[in-house]
Structure formats: structure tokens, C-alpha cells
Amino acid sequence: MTDQSLPPVAARRPHSISHHGHSIADDYAWLRDPGYPEVKDRDVLDYLEAETAFFESAMAPHKARIDALFAEMKGRIKEDDQSVPQKDGDYIYWRAFEIGAQYRKWYRKPVAGGEDQLILDEPALAQGHDYFRLGAMSVSPDGRYLAYAIDTNGSERFEARIKDLISGEILPDVIPDTLSSLVWTSDSKGLLYGLANENWRTDNARLHRLGQSVESDVELFHEDDEGFRVSVGLTSSEKWIVISTGDHVTSEAWLVPADNPTATPLLVAARQDGREYEVDEHDGTLYIRTNDTHPNFRLVTASLEAPGDWTEVIAPDAHFYLTDFTLFKGFYVTEGRQDGLDQIELRDYATHAAKRIAFPEASYSASLDENPEYDVTKLRIGYESMVTPDTIYDYHLDTGELEVLKHQIIPSGYDADRYATERLMIAARDGTQIPVSIVYPKDLPRDGSAPLHLYGYGAYGLAMEPGFSTSRLSLLDRGIAFALAHIRGGDDLGQQWYLDGKLDKRTNTFTDFVDVAKGLIDLGYTSAGRIGISGGSAGGELMGAVINSDPELWGAVVAHVPFVDVLNTMLDETLPLTPGEWPEWGNPIEDKAAFETILSYCPYNNVKAQAYPPMMVTAGLNDPRVTYWEPAKWVARLRATRTDDALLILKTNMGAGHGGKSGRFESLHETAEEFAFLLWQLGVED
């Protein structure tokens, strides 16, 4: 019987790949089951199970702390919480948790008066499943039907179903393998969706008619480029259905009437490499957000008769990044970031003049919340900061008043005065100033003695918002500062910030993170070896890169579903995401320079004989985004190559995917495990 207290050793089976004159050994390639997405190879399963057994053995002595952390995190959650009701047509909608429930229930009641109606019962749908996730959901225009999609294993192959909200009956119409929004036609008798193909890619938009077989569904649009993905949406006026296709850098949109979805689609503008755009419609005029003349985007208009003839209404701005726009009947809203700080502006259709909504703090996260109706007199807005819990406002258009509808309730208590938050600027090695959001207990010593947790992502143009976290309080209350590094690769300071962290500039992301850590040390917040770091997916790639380059800085590392086998994944065009990822990482199959760039930083290929910090790694067996073998191979190579015996543990969720376990308490328990590991390795006592 295997001793579970000892780390497992993966077999080394010689294997190599050759591209562009390079031959690269990969002795752990066997950990990819050739039958994937089914994983039945006994050697693979035995290894994953041995690693999880070792994980459980290593963490078992810390069960009391895990339980205590879980209890205090759970104590900060209002168990019987509910959303702020919002009107949409003839009904008011909301969702609510019951005490002890892992999942929500969804309700509505008539505006004219009447009983509350339970329209979707997530706990009932989740019953009997180790994993459950509700995907797209949409109520038909006449209010009678609810279309919803569910995933019960984490594979992100959703099954769409339709419920008659009058009778409560689930219709026999079942659409398997959907991977998209669900959009109703105007007559409430048709539903548009996208089907995942055999490579898990949505390359189509299809129309289902209620009561007809799925086999007879009509394909309205098909995308031939394997790197593009198709999505469906609805304009704000609900007159047009938008069929969009694109990859990370290029997009194209088609319009079909919502009351005649089989009409010939209207092309807005043909795809041009490197040009992104999105479209909405108001009173026959198209509004289009595009980056055709500047990375920070501009807003243009066009007529339905000449949709490709664009007139600029909001010019691009080097300091203002236009991230979104929403059209309403009497006005429209633009959202963006001014030098990295969220802004919401109301604009007039005639003059396009802007009225900016003012918020009370110097650093915060703010955005439009749920605003389903087209004709409104107030806007629903969400707001939070690193010290201010989530707050829902109604902004009254006539008075400019921000009316508080809901403050996030923390049952165990919360005193914001105990904490301080700052927005720092730390110089990277090339002189670029990197923003850092930090929160810490006010009595934190500034002599380098305090531990600090540093989080980063830095990919796909995704900004890291300086928001609130009740779980994070478990670190702050134990004297640990928490910092968020707004590194290049995200779009925190605009689209150029993203461009400066991708493709041949990818290493900026990694060096920015390291330089932020060194800057925080110089400022006295912490010291080398007292820093815990974490990141997931592409942020897990970040973890892998910085432990290879600067292992001595980190006292503990958590890498969630880490994208660490970048080169092999980008060389495998049969994987679900690979062709669509080439604009982000480069195509190493065709481009020798891209191959060599990825090889130079790929965490798996750059593991070296050196001491590494203590590490906790997670994976999901059903993860279609970062396949389970990436973290498994990485851990195996680290074990065989490193020169130290610091703790290295791998936990594979055998019934989950990219997001880990589902359910608000199951996922909270995984956070408690992560924090217990960090506190243990950083030497923090309760």
C-alpha cells in the first residue's frame, strides 16, 4: 500500500517534440489520456488520485484551522440573502438564497399585484449532482417561457431546457451541448442559441422553434474560421438579434430582425484583421464601439441602410478607455476608465454631451448593474471598493441622486475603520509605472516584518477590479496586507496596457509582477520570503513564470488550474481553445519567432534545478479551458527537477471544471483550504 504521507513520483516515459529546429523532451506527456475528454487510463487516474491523497494527508493536520476559517468566512455571508428586485415588463424579478442552501432560487411577481412565483429552483436542479452551474437564462418577451441552460459536471457543455411559467411544465424541447446565450424571437416561439462542435467550439447560430425537434433546428449562421467563436445577443430596443463572430483581436457582426430571424442577415461591417467592434441600435441608428483608429476605442454611428459608413460621435482618448456603452430610449450610457479609474457617463443622443456620475472614494469599482428595460427614469448601479462592501444604487435621472437600495450585509460584523486602502504606483524595470491596489489593517507595521499576499492575472485584456471580499478579511485580520497588481496584459490602464503584455511582449506581465513585489518590499510593506502569491488559469501561468525567475521572493504560492504547458497547448490545434488563442499567445506551429518566445517563458519548459517555494496547485478533471494534464505534468516535473523539499501539493477535482467546486459553501471551503495553506507556510499564527 502506498504511503500517502510521501509525495508520489510520476513515471518518466521518454517523449519529445520537434519544431523549427528545436527538439524538446516531454517525459510526462503520457499524463494526457488519449481518450480525452473521457479520462479512463488507469495509470493517469492512479497518479491523480495519489497526488490528491498526498494533498489530503499534508492538509489533514490543519483541519481545525480550515474549519475555523470556513466558519468565519461563512459567518460573513448572509445566508438568506436576496437580490434587489428589478422590474422587467409586467413582472418584478429577484433571486434569493435560503439558509443553508448552496444555490439560488429565482422568483418573480406581477407588477399589477399577485403572488410570488418560483420560476427556477437551482437547489432542486442540483440535487444528486456533485457539480452544478446555471448558465444562460432568458424569459420570453410575452413572459410565458423561461429558457435556461445547466452544466452538471464542469465540462461547460450546457443542456438548454424550456419551462412554461404558467403551467410549471418543463417542455420536451431539450437542446444538448449549447455554449452560448439564449435569445428569444419577438413572437416568443423561437429561441436562438449556439451549439458546441466536436472540438468544443461555437461556430454557429441556430434557431429552435418551440414544439419542433432539435434535429430540425435551422442554422442561421456558420463560421468557417476555426479561431473565431460565434455568439448571439439582442439589441437594447429588442428589435434586432445580433450574431457576432470573432477572436481576441478581430470581430464581425450581423443583424437579423427579432420578428423575422430567418431573414437574410445584414452585415454591419466585414471583418478586418485587428479591428474589433460591437453594435447596438436606437431608432434606426446603429451605435458601434470600435478600436479601428485607436486602441482605447471610439463610438461611431451608422444607418441601417449603410451600416459600414461610420460617423464618429465620441473620439478616442489616450487617457479615457471606452469599455462599454448601453442604449436606452431617451439617453445612453458610456462606461470606461479614466487613467484606470471606473467612470459612468450619461449622454444625450442629440449632442452626445456627457454627465459623469460622481463616486465618494479615490479608488473603487463601479458599473451598471441590472437594467433590463429600455425606457427608464433611473439606473441601477453597482459599487464597491477594497474597504466598502458591495452597494446597489438607483441613480435618479431627474435629480442626480444616488439612492442606496442595498448594502452587503456581513452578519458577523464589519468595521471599515479598521482597514486602510491605497492606490500605489510602482516603477517596473523599464520605467513604466504599475498601479497597485492595496488594503491592510491600519496597525500594519511598515518595517518589512509583515506578511503580504499579492494577486495578479495579466492576460486577455481583463482588468482586476479593486473590489471587496469578505473572505479576504480572514487574511487582513491576521495581520496580512493584500495587494492587487494591475500588471500589463490586462486592460487596467487601457487597451495599450493589454497590448503591451501579449504576444512578443508577454514577459512584461511577469516582470511587472516581480517588480511590484520588490517595490512593496522597498516601501516596507513586507520582505522577501514573506510574500504569498496566487493566480488562476492565465494567472497560474504567471505564478509558474515568477517562481522560475525569482523563487526567493515568495513564501507560499497557490496556482489554480494553471495554464503552464503553454507551448504544447498552442501546438495542438485539436484542443478546444487553441486556434482562438493564437492571437493572444502566438501561433508556434507556423511562426518560429512565436515558438521561441513561448518556449522562453513557458513555465513547464523552464522548470530548473533550483529551490522552489512551497506550492499548492489545483486542477479540474473536466476542465475544457486548462486541461487537467497541464498542472499534473508541471507538478511531476517540479518534483523531479527541484533541489529542495518544500511542500508541493496537487489537488484535482475529479467532478469539476475550470472554476473548481460549485455551490457557495463548497467553493468557500476550497478558499479556506487555500488560506490555511498560505497562513501555514507564511508562519502566521491565529
Please count the other Cβ atoms lying within 10 Å of the Cβ belonging to residue 399.
9
Distance from C-alpha of 516 to C-alpha of 447, rounded to nearest angstrom: 17
Q: In this predicted structure, what is the pLDDT of residue 624?
A: 78
CB 322 within 8 A of CB 336: yes
The stretches in the chain having pLDDT less than 50 are: 1
CB 428 within 8 A of CB 434: yes
Distance from C-alpha of 499 to C-alpha of 295, rounded to nearest angstrom: 9
Q: In this predicted structure, what is the pLDDT of residue 98?
A: 95
**How is residue 102 written as a grid cell?**
448552496
Q: Does residue 222 carry a catalytic annotation?
A: no
H/E run at residue 473: helix 473-476
Please count the other Cβ atoms lying within 10 Å of the Cβ belonging to residue 293.
14
Q: Does residue 623 carry a catalytic annotation?
A: yes
SS3 labels along 529-594:
CCEEEEEECHHHHHHHHHHHHCHHHEEEEEEECCCCCHHHHHCCCCCCCHHHHHHHHCCCCCCHHH
Does 176 sit behind a cis peptide bond, omega within 30 degrees of 0 on the bond before it?
no
Alpha carbon distances (Å) from 180 to 154, 159, 175, 256, 673 = 15, 11, 12, 17, 33
Q: In this predicted structure, what is the pLDDT of residue 661?
A: 63
SS3 at position 443: coil
Q: In this predicted structure, what is the pLDDT of residue 197?
A: 86
Q: In this predicted structure, what is the pLDDT of residue 521?
A: 98
From the candidates 537, 550, 560, 662, give the one annotated as an active-site residue. 537
In the chain, % helix, strand, coil (3-state, to 5) comes to 20, 35, 45
Distance from C-alpha of 456 to C-alpha of 535, rounded to nearest angstrom: 6
Q: In this predicted structure, what is the pLDDT of residue 1?
A: 47
CB 25 within 8 A of CB 16: yes
Distance from C-alpha of 683 to C-alpha of 480, rounded to nearest angstrom: 11
Long-range contacts of 497-505 (CB under 8 A, 24+ apart): 498/460, 498/461, 499/295, 500/432, 501/458, 501/459, 502/459, 502/584, 502/585, 503/584, 503/585, 503/586, 503/594, 503/597, 504/586, 504/593, 504/594, 504/597
What's the predicted TM-score (pTM) here? 0.93
**How is residue 520 written as a grid cell?**
512593496
CB 106 within 8 A of CB 97: no
Domains and CATH numbers, the chain: 17-74+413-682 (3.40.50.1820), 84-317+325-333 (2.130.10.120), 319-324+334-409 (no CATH)
From the candidates 208, 248, 560, 658, give the one annotated as an active-site residue. 658
Distance from C-alpha of 102 to C-alpha of 282, rounded to nearest angstrom: 40
**How is residue 553 written as a grid cell?**
521572493
Q: Does residue 121 carry a catalytic annotation?
A: no
Task: Report the first-to-last Cα separation within the chain, whole angstroms.
Answer: 36
Please count the other Cβ atoms lying within 10 Å of the Cβ belonging to residue 324.
14
The pair phi, psi for residue 668, each rounded to 5°, is: -65, -35
